[in-house]
Structure 1
Amino acid sequence: MVMKEPTTEQQFLAFTSLYRVSPYYQFAHFTANQAIIEAFEKDQETNNNRALHVIDFNVSYGFQWPSLIQSLSQSGKRVSLRLTGYGRSLEELQETEARLVSFAKGFCNLVFEFQGLLRSSPKLIINQREKKNETVAVNLVFHLSNFMEMSQTLKSVHSLKPSIVILVEQEGNPRVRNFLSRLMESLHYFAAMFDSLDDCLPQESTERLSIERNHLGKEIKAMINSENLDEENKGTWKNMMERHGFGGMKLSSKCLMQAKLLLKVRTHNYSPLPCEGENTNGGFRVFQRDEGKALSLGWQDRCLLTVSAWQCV
Structure 2
Amino acid sequence: MLSPTDISCDFFDVFPTNSCEHASMINMEFDQELSIRHLLKAYGESIEKGYMDLAQVILTRLRDKASPIGTTMERLSHYLSVQRSDPQAQRLKEECMKNHSMAFRALYEITPYGRFAHFVANYAIYESIPRDIEEVRIVDFDIGDGIQWPPLICALGPRRSVRFTCINDAEKDYKFERVRERLASFAQSMGLNLIVDNLRLDELMRIGASEGVWLVFNCMVGLPHMNMGRRSQVEKFIEGARNSLVSSSTTNGMLICGNGRCGHELFSNEHLLHSQALLESMEWHFPSSFSLARTSMECLFIGPCVSSCLGEHELVSVGSSLEGCRFSKQNLMEAMEIVRGGDYGVKVRGEWGNEMVLEWRGTPLVRVCAWR
Equivalent residue, structure 1, for 2:115: 26
Q: Post-superposition shift, 1:204?
A: 3.5
1:157-194 deviation digits (Å, cap 9, x = unpaired) = 123226110011124212x4xx542xx43322121111
Quick one: which of 216, 220, 226 aligns to 1:137? 216
Alignment partners' CA distance in 2, 1:262 and 1:133: 33
Aligned partner of 2:24 in structure 1 is none
Residue 250 to residue 89, structure 1, CA distance change in 2 (3 Å): same
Q: Paired residue for 1:165?
A: 255
1:298 aligns with 2:359: yes
Letter in 2 for 1:257: M
| Offset, 1:61 | 1.0
Contact 1:11 1:215 survives alignment (8 Å): no
C-alpha separation in 2, matches of 1:81 and 1:30: 18
- Give the match's secondary structure for 1:136: strand
The equivalent of 2:237 in structure 1 is 153
Q: Distance in 2 between matches of 1:149 and 1:254?
A: 33
Gaps of 5+ in 1: 265-280
CA pair 198-294 structure 1, distance change in 2 beyond 3 A = same
Aligned ranges 1:4-153 → 2 under 5 Å: 4=90, 11-40=100-129, 43-44=130-131, 48-73=132-157, 78-86=159-167, 87=169, 88-108=171-191, 110-117=192-199, 121=200, 124-128=203-207, 132-142=211-221, 146-148=230-232, 150-153=234-237
- The question of whether the paired residues in 2 share the 8 Å contact of 1:139 and 1:166 is answered with yes
Give the alignment's TM-score, normalised by structure 1. Answer: 0.76
Check conservation: 2:235, 2:314, Cα contact below 8 A.
no
Equivalent residue for 2:283, pick from 198, 208, 224? 198
- Gap change, CA 1:235 and 1:116, over 3 Å in 2: closer
Alpha-carbon distance between aligned partners in 2 of 1:23 and 1:122, rounded to the nearest angstrom: 30
Q: Provide the alpha-carbon RMSD of the alignment.
A: 2.7
Look up the SS of the partner of 2:324 in the other structure: strand
Query: Which has more radius of gyration?
Result: 2
Structure 2: where are the runs of 5+ without partners? Answer: 1-85, 223-227, 246-251
Contact 1:80/1:111 (<8 A) preserved:
yes
Inter-partner Cα distance in structure 2 for 1:149 and 1:213: 25
Q: Which residue of 2 aligns with 1:271?
A: none
Instruction: Kindly provide the amino acid, as one letter, of the partner of residue 85 in structure 1.
Output: C
Offset, 1:49: 0.9
Residues 31 and 138 of structure 1: CA distance in aligned 2, closer, same or farther (over 3 Å): same
Residues 262-301 of structure 1 mapped to structure 2, 5 A cutoff? 262-264=338-340, 281-291=341-351, 292-301=353-362
Question: Is the CA contact (8 Å cut-off) linking 2:319 and 2:371 kept in structure 1?
Answer: no
Q: What is the CA-CA distance between 1:126 and the residue it aligns to?
A: 1.6
Distance 1:8 1:98, change over 3 A: farther
**1:303 CA drift (Å):** 0.9
| Structure 1 residue 217, shift from structure 2 partner | 1.5
Name whichever structure is richer in strand by fraction: 1
8 Å Cα contact 1:21-1:201 kept in structure 2: no
| CA gap 1:151/1:101 in 2 versus in 1, 3 angstroms | closer
Structure 1 residue 212 and structure 2 residue 302: aligned? no
- The CA deviation at 1:68 is 0.5
TM-score (norm: length of structure 2) = 0.65
Rounded Cα–Cα distance in structure 2 between residues aligned with 1:152 and 1:210: 34
* 8 A contact 1:297–1:306 mirrored in 2: yes
Paired position in structure 1 for 2:319: 242
Q: Which has the higher helix share?
A: 2
**Larger relative contact order (C-alpha < 8 A, sep ≥ 6)?**
1
Q: Which residue of 2 aligns with 1:186?
A: 271
> Hey, what does 1:272 align to over in structure 2?
none
Question: Quick one: distance in 2 between partners of 1:151 and 1:160?
Answer: 14
Matches of 1:147 and 1:171, distance apart in 2: 11
Amino acid at match of 2:330: K
